[in-house]
Amino acid sequence: MALIYCRECGKQISDQALSCPHCGCTLARPAEVDPNKSDKDWLTCVLLSFFLGGLGIHSFYVGKNTVGVVQLITLGGCGIWALIDFIMIVCGSYRDADGKLITHK
């Protein structure tokens, strides 16, 4: 157990405390989730790109609608683009529309 300082009143409190016993403020915990990580489901992405990658469905799924439309028209860049996307998704280096990585959790 470590001691931290309350950001409201500045008194020492336990880092296990959910609220400050001195001023009663709620202590915000650092988010467990990585802000660079997409909330899109990795497995869904893998399956969509494997079965429907040629139609750009995985791009629509992650919010990249413009890319999805282009892939739909070009049939996934004649399959090459879809294949590259599929490999990137499997490797966990594919990003969604917000630039966040889609990785399996």
Residues of the shown chain interacting with Zn ion in the complex, contacts defined by CB under 5 A: 6, 8-9, 20, 22-23
DSSP letter assigned to residue 37: B
- Closest by CA to 88, choosing from 62, 39, 37, 49, is 49
Strand partners, 4: 13
CB of 102 to Zn ion, least distance (A): 39
- Is the CB of 6 or the CB of 82 nearer to Zn ion? 6
CB of 21 to Zn ion, least distance (A): 8
Which tokens hold the place of 23?
């001023």
Considering the complex, what minimum distance in angstroms separates the CB of residue 26 from Zn ion? 10
